[in-house]
Structure 1
């Protein structure tokens, strides 16, 4: 991307992404609680005072309030501005990589779904079907749109469907193997549904990259947490955040990871 174009455009992209992150905070909090995403408007969870325009500004509102409600002085979690800032930065990263293209719009949606799902899983150890199913449908729509650009809509749809089916079967198989070896469920149904959603967006090749990365990082985290006494030996932990992180890495570096793997292990192909 041209440096001047980036300097002019990226601040607007960040503000847009941070605003989406603000809405994702609402989704993360309200969807598991089965509350409306639209009503009531954003308010203090303690005294229920409705936030004003300046208080509701992404990132800056929290800083202006110094992390406390203006009215009851109850602390406001720092996670809210962190989610907003992270979403804004990821939107900038996507835009820098793909510029003005259908990929940018699609991956903005994809990243938003992954952020919401990973944090809901972190909080509740669940992955809501409303998000995984809608994300899967959007992923198939994205593959159709990408195929339409190249006059190969059927190929695009098959890429999405193949990735979704592989994700579902692969993680169901991992769950069965975990049950046989460990005597307990290795993966929940939500993880296989999230894998199917990721497969619909990225196709089967990048799904395999995502699975490899997620399992590797998840194993390191789980082993480290158990070694430090933070987790019991058979205590489960949410796998969705690792899948989401790995999927985002696959969006940007999936092809390089595949090429590196092939060059190391199959240099003559």
Structure 2
């Protein structure tokens, strides 16, 4: 019962964070202030009231339309709020009350924002990837909960090596793939996002996340080409796949690594 109550509070908290993430996703690419003006209808300018601005429920209360001009409000807003809330609860259920929980809440929020901005604009803002990388290195240092300089330095190096590997890996893939395809295969933002993931997860889980990202991306991209939705030359944002791979690595990375080692390198 206690766990249910705590999870409910975390769900509400996550939904509130998701509401702010909606603001970041919409305003950051447009170079608008994240704080001013307050949330309002983009058509008639009506400022949302307190009940209208309640995460998830506000959209349901308005029945998906502006109360003043009846302009439809995209269902993506409550969907993102719900996804954020569910992710926050899932992290808490797996990691409990810990520093890792707070850290992964931050990481998954960053990944959700970056994936949707990339989906909308085919860009990954430097302000997010760079700040996310710095936060990842800070997480590595603080996660030790120790003042032992050797342990702190070792953990910091884990993040740095992961970040460098992320950049090198994607730079190599971009050069090779671009040579084969005769056009730019990936944007520079993908390498920076991979570096951010490496800073947070370390090089081992980074590789797990990247493998999953390429596997899912190849499956969806190949399916879209087969169905005629995309041609082989059409660009496709890779940020959402990297974000998905990173999120899966957060929850299942260690188990996937262990299963891989046991399968291919069994103890003799």
Q: How does 1:57-96 map to 2 (within 5 A)?
A: 57-96=54-93
1:114-135 per-residue CA deviation (whole Å, 9 max, x = no partner) reads: 0000000000000000000000
Determine the C-alpha separation between the residues in 1 that align with 2:147 and 2:169. Answer: 29
Count of residues paired in the alignment: 266
Q: Paired residue for 1:187?
A: 186
**Cα distance in 2 for residues equivalent to 1:71 and 1:51:** 10
Decide whether aligned partners of structure 1 residues 150 and 256 sit closer, same or farther in structure 2, where only a CA change above 3 A counts.
Answer: farther
C-alpha distance in structure 2 between counterparts of 1:109 and 1:93, whole Å: 13
The match for 2:110 is 113
**Equivalence for 2:139:** 142
Hey, what's the Cα distance between the residues in 1 that align with 2:167 and 2:181?
21
**Which whole-Å CA distance do the structure 2 matches of 1:235 and 1:127 have between them?**
18
Provide the TM-score with structure 1 as the length reference. Answer: 0.97
Per the TM alignment, residue 268 of structure 1 is displaced from its structure 2 partner at its CA by 3.0
- Per the alignment, in what secondary structure is the counterpart of residue 143 of structure 2? helix
Q: Structure 1: which 5+ runs fail to align?
A: none
Q: Report the equivalent of 2:224.
A: 225
Paired with 1:155 and 1:28, the residues of 2 have a C-alpha distance of 35
In 1: Cα distance, 2:233 partner to 2:261 partner: 35
What's the CA shift for 1:262? 1.3
| Equivalent residue, structure 1, for 2:153 | 154
- Following TM superposition, where does structure 1 have runs of at least 4 consecutive aligned residues deviating by more than 6 angstroms? none
What's 1:203 paired with?
Answer: 202
Q: TM-score, normalised by structure 2?
A: 0.97
Output the CA distance in 1 between the equivalents of 2:20 and 2:232: 37
Paired with 1:235 and 1:55, the residues of 2 have a C-alpha distance of 39
3-state SS in 1 of match to 2:77:
helix
> Are 1:119 and 1:241, in contact at CA under 8 Å, matched by a contact in 2?
yes
Q: CA RMSD in A?
A: 1.0
Tell me, yes or no, if the aligned pair for 1:147 and 1:154 is still in contact at 8 Å.
no
In 2, Cα distance between the equivalents of 1:161 and 1:225?
36
CA drift at 1:6: 1.6
Partner of 2:24: 27
Deviation of the 1:48 alpha carbon: 1.1
Task: Please tell me whether residue 215 in structure 1 is matched to residue 225 in structure 2.
Answer: no
Q: 1:8 aligns with which of 1, 5, 9?
A: 5
User: Which runs of no fewer than 5 residues in structure 2 stay unpaired?
Assistant: none
Please state how far the C-alpha of 1:184 moved relative to its aligned partner. Answer: 1.4
After TM superposition, give the deviation of residue 147 of structure 1 in Å.
2.6
Decide whether the 8 Å contact of 1:117 with 1:127 is kept in 2: yes
Partner of 1:131: 128
Q: Please state whether the residue corresponding to 1:10 is helix, strand or coil.
A: helix
